[in-house]
Chain A
Amino acid sequence: MLRLQARAEPSRWWVYASPLLALLVTVLLGVALFLLLGKDPVRGLAVFFWEPLRSGYALGELVVKATPLLLIALGLAVAFRSNVWNIGAEGQYVMGAVAASGVALLAEPGGSKWIVLPLLLAGTFGGMVWGGLTAWLRDRFNANEILVSLMLVYVAVQVLGYMVFGPWKDPNGYNFPQTQMFEAATKIPRLFASSRMHIGVLIAVVGAALVWVFLFRTRAGFAQQVGGIAPAAARYAGFSSRSALWTAMLVSGGFAGLAGALEVAGPIGQLTPYLPAGYGFAAIIVAFVGRLHPGGLILSSLLMSMFYIGGELAQSRLGLPQSLTGVFQGLLLFSLLACDTLIHYRVVRSKPRAALASAAGAH
């Protein structure tokens, strides 16, 4: 019978073969799914993996969608590596967007483009405040951060609703719940005229580099992660678990808030109740598939973005239901988690139980 045996040290080969195997498993399951639905599997795969790469515009859209995912995932990588489970990034994203909208609404028509800077800072700050709230409740009251951050997501969505239905409602908008369109000056500068890509991409890449430096080249980053892996050792070495908690929540909250600010002042251009798009939760998958490593996150955010866009195209081109995206994303994460086992364990044939028990002898 087969069982798992721990390896002496993690298998280097499987570290990079595992995601590939997981992707392959997902693709195979996808093919089976397409066949079950009576659709041409090759065309189905083309829609998911080829169409989103086909033209300059398509690549631009891929990047536009990947940017918020990457930003949030970077923050989550820091948090998860510290064993701080911030599940509420969606709420921090929303609050960042709300804060940024507050600044955007102050803009005058024809005002200076430099308003973008305080706008992004406000968004980052808004996300940090919301993340900090979770940190405070855990620090002061020991409240579990998973549940608190999750509950705060629902609260954030209601705050958003209140603002767009009430104080910030567009006075000329026939009472529809949304703010006015933001002044042109607040629009996040684009990289190219022909695409919706904006400087958020650059910020994300720079952010990835900074996170990499922090995690792998600074003492603070090291202390942060040790607290996550071995709390007792961390305490012995004098690394504060308290500062690790706050750093984790503020960094992940800040990144999420920044993503929210970029989305609301970039592709959307106004604050609407439809802002929460689930990026905060999708970023969790991105973080894991990217192995919580900035380089991996860049790749996994693009992959996840491809799934999203492919799912949309599968709808309009192939008539497949939109929920297929969620299925693929979940399958990918499952496969990855299963395949990752092979990094730390190998599969061996073992003797039947009875023989083992007698070999082990009496305790």
Chain B
Amino acid sequence: MTDLQLRSLLKLAVIGAAASMVMVGCGKKEQPPAPAPAAEAPAPKPEPLKIAFAYVGPVGDGGWTFAHDNARKALEKEFGDKITTSIAENVPESADAERVIRDMASQGNKVIFGTTFGYMETMMKLAPEFKDVKFEHATGYKTAENMRTYDSRTYEGAYMNGVIAGAMTKSNIIGVVASKPIPEVIRNINSFTMGAQSVNPKIKTKVVWVNDWFNPPKETEAATSLINAGADVLMQNTDSPAVLKTAEEKGKRAFGWDSDMTAYGPKAHLASAVINWAPYYIKATKDALEGTWTTGGVWWGVKEGAIDVVSIAEDVPAETKAKVDAIKAGLKDGSFSIWKGPLVDNTGKTQLKKDEVADDKFLSGVMFYVKGVDGKVPK
């Protein structure tokens, strides 16, 4: 391209940009002017509280994001026209998140829910800039004056899944399709194993890592390889129904995760460990509306209504169902602890002494496999 052509191109680009701006400008003028206030204006209704949700995946994932969106809908039902909500889905956990969340804050949203760990640094950065916005961050660990964290005790659901798995397995090999080797997932693998061992000490757990939160083709392949290795009951810590579907196809059993996945595998489905974010979202919104919002962090489980195991299959024996109910009751009134010693890891080291109950700090740092899980925790 010669210099002449380049200059012409630049000129035309400017003209083109100007033309589109003019077109848009004309469009703006067509908006109707604001209506003149009536003589006797009624007392103005309080502006609805604007709440925004940043989702890492699509609402249609049937798992993690789907659960959050269901809670958002429950929120709308609860508060009616006192609030308005908006969402952005597929917001990547990268530098782009800053632009999206900043835009949410500048658009007048007063409460912003960031539903994945990867938004932590972004929200920490934006919190001081937007002091009148309440930042709610899921599964993180950093807080600020106007930013707090919330999380759910998914391991409680995993444990109850384990109880059912231990009762239903015939091969005594159970499998987990795991996402990324962080404490939360390892905790769930362990809880699943411990639950199964409580009814069937002979079980062994096999784990396959997908290294992704949401990757249906890979989840399918991982599930297939677990089944090929002899597992007949599968649990997942990933976000799509692929594992359940694979189990359905191959005549094995599996659990739904994050949301009720019965519809994806009616024959294979044993139960779904669901997260119900609604109780927390309602509380958080109430705090914001009533001005009682304080920073901190919560970790809610069965006790607060955030975790549940639902849609247990018909063919699960009555005594197993009863055990699950008893565990739920025990978790609710505090009489039952899942992570209670004696607890030995799969290298023989004692992690919890007899009757020692793990505290939250211990649980946040779990990076070992309990006895009964095959393999080593990936570094």
- Do A's and B's CB atoms come within 8 Å in the complex? yes
Name A residues whose Cβ lies closer than 8 Å to a Cβ of B.
12, 15-17, 19-20, 23, 27, 42-43, 45-46, 49-50, 53, 61, 161, 165-166, 174-177, 181, 196, 263, 267-270, 272, 274-275, 277, 291, 293, 295-296, 299, 309, 312-313, 315-317, 319, 321-323
> A309: which B residues are within 8 A, CB to CB?
99
Contact A16 B12 (CB under 8 A): yes
B183 touches A46 (CB 8 A): no
The 3 nearest A-B residue pairs measured at CB = A42-B27, A267-B95, A274-B94
> Is B8's CB within 8 Å of the partner chain A?
yes
Asked if B121 and A166 sit within 8 Å, CB to CB, the answer is no
Q: B120: nearest residue on chain A (CB-CB)?
A: A176
The reply to whether B121 and A269 form a contact with Cβ atoms under 8 Å apart is: yes
Q: Is B326 on the interface with A (CB-CB < 8 A)? A: no
The answer on a CB contact under 8 Å between A312 and B9 is: no
Residues of A close to B89: CB separation below 8 A: 315, 321-322
Tell me which of B1, B17, B183, B211 contacts A291 (CB under 8 A).
B1
Q: How far is the CB of B222 from chain A (nearest CB, A)?
A: 16
CA of A81 to CA of B339, assembled, Å: 63
Please pick, from B6, B94, B181, the residue contacting A295 in the complex, using a CB distance under 8 A: B6
Interface majority SS on B: helix, strand, loop or mixed?
A: helix
State the main secondary structure of chain A at its contact with B.
Answer: helix
Q: A19 vs B16: C-alpha distance in the bound complex, in angstroms?
A: 10
Complex Cα spacing A295 to B11, Å: 12
Q: B residues 138-194 with Cβ under 8 Å of A?
A: 141, 180-183
State the Cβ distance, B353 to closest chain A Cβ, in Å.
23
Chain A residue numbers with a CB within 8 Å of B24 are: 42, 45-46, 49-50
In the complex, what residue of chain B is closest to A275 when comparing beta carbons? B94
Q: Count how many chain B residues have C-beta atoms less than 8 Å from C-beta atoms of the other chain.
A: 47
Looking at the assembled complex, report how far the CB atom of A81 sits from the nearest CB atom of chain B, in whole angstroms: 12
Within 8 A of A (CB), among B14-38: 16-17, 20-21, 23-24, 27-28
The answer to whether the Cβ of B107 comes within 8 Å of any Cβ in the partner chain is yes
Q: Which residues of A contact B1 (CB under 8 A)?
A: 15, 291, 293, 295-296
- Would B379 and A312 count as touching, CB distance under 8 A? no
A175:B104 contact, CB within 8 angstroms? no
Question: Which residues of chain B come closer than 8 Å to A296, judged between CB atoms?
Answer: 1, 6, 9
Whole-angstrom distance between the Cβ of A294 and the nearest chain B Cβ: 9
Give the chain B neighbours of A23 by CB distance below 8 A. Answer: 16
Question: Which chain B residues have a beta carbon within 8 Å of chain A's beta carbons?
Answer: 1, 5-6, 8-10, 12-13, 16-17, 20-21, 23-24, 27-28, 52, 86-90, 92-96, 98-100, 103-104, 107, 117-118, 121, 141, 180-183, 211, 364-365, 367, 378-379
Cβ-neighbour of A177 out of B17, B20, B182 (below 8 A): B182
Known contacts: A166-B379, A312-B88. The answer to whether A174 contacts B5 by CB under 8 A is no
Contact yes or no, A295 B183, CB < 8 A = no
Q: Let me know if A267 and B5 touch, CB within 8 A.
A: no
Who on chain B is nearest to A294 by CB? B6
Least CB separation from B186: chain A residue: A175
Cβ distance B99 to chain A, nearest Cβ, rounded Å: 6
- Measured between beta carbons, the chain B residues less than 8 angstroms from A49 are 17, 20-21, 24
A174 to B317, CA, bound (A): 39
Give which listed residue, B10, B103, B118, B379, contacts A272 with CB less than 8 A. B118
**A45:B378 contact, CB within 8 angstroms:** no
- Among A20, A176, A323, the most chain B Cβ lie within 10 Å of the Cβ of A176
**Least Cβ distance of B55 to chain A in Å?**
10
Closest chain B residue to A172, Cβ basis: B141
A267 and B92 CA atoms in complex are apart in Å by 14
Q: How far is the CA of A263 from the CA of B96 in the complex (A)?
A: 11
Q: How far is the CB of A324 from chain B (nearest CB, A)?
A: 11
Are the C-beta atoms of B21 and A174 separated by less than 8 Å? Answer: no
Chain B hits for A263, CB < 8 A: 95
A154: min CB distance to chain B, Å: 12
* Docked pose: A114 CA to B100 CA in angstroms: 32
Q: List 14 A-B contacts (CB under 8 A).
A: A20-B12, A43-B27, A45-B20, A165-B180, A175-B182, A175-B183, A175-B365, A176-B182, A177-B181, A177-B182, A267-B95, A267-B98, A312-B103, A317-B107
Bound Cα distance from A181 to B124, whole angstroms: 12
Contact between chains at A270 and B20 (CB < 8 Å)? no
Min CB distance A336 to B, Å, is 13
Q: How many Å lie between the Cα of A181 and that of B183 in the bound state?
A: 20
- Bound Cα distance A296, B12 (Å): 12
Cβ–Cβ contact A27 & B9, under 8 A: no
Residues of B contacting A166 with CB < 8 Å? 379
B183 touches A12 (CB 8 A): no
Instruction: Evaluate contact between A316 and B86: CB separation under 8 angstroms.
Output: yes
Give the distance in Å from the alpha carbon of A295 to the alpha carbon of B9 in the complex: 9
Q: Is the CB of A316 within 8 A of B94?
A: no
Q: With contacts A166-B379, A296-B9, A316-B103 known, is A322 near B90, CB below 8 A?
A: yes
- A268 close to B94 (CB less than 8 A): yes
Q: How far is the CB of B297 from chain A (nearest CB, A)?
A: 12
Contacts of B92 in A (CB 8 A): 274, 277
Which residue on chain A has the smallest CB distance to residue B13? A299
Residues of B within 8 A of A61 (CB): 99
Whether A277 lies near B6 (C-beta < 8 A) is no
- Report the bound CA distance from A317 to B100 in whole Å: 11
Asked whether B12 lies within 8 Å of A50 as measured between CB atoms, the reply is: no
* Distance, CA A291 to CA B182, complexed state (A): 45
Minimal Cβ-Cβ distance residue in B for A196: B98
B121 surroundings in chain A (CB, below 8 A):
181, 269-270
Contact of A272 with B93 in the complex, beta carbons under 8 Å: yes
What residues of chain B lie closer than 8 Å to A269, measured between beta carbons? 121
B27 A46 Cβ-Cβ under 8 A:
yes
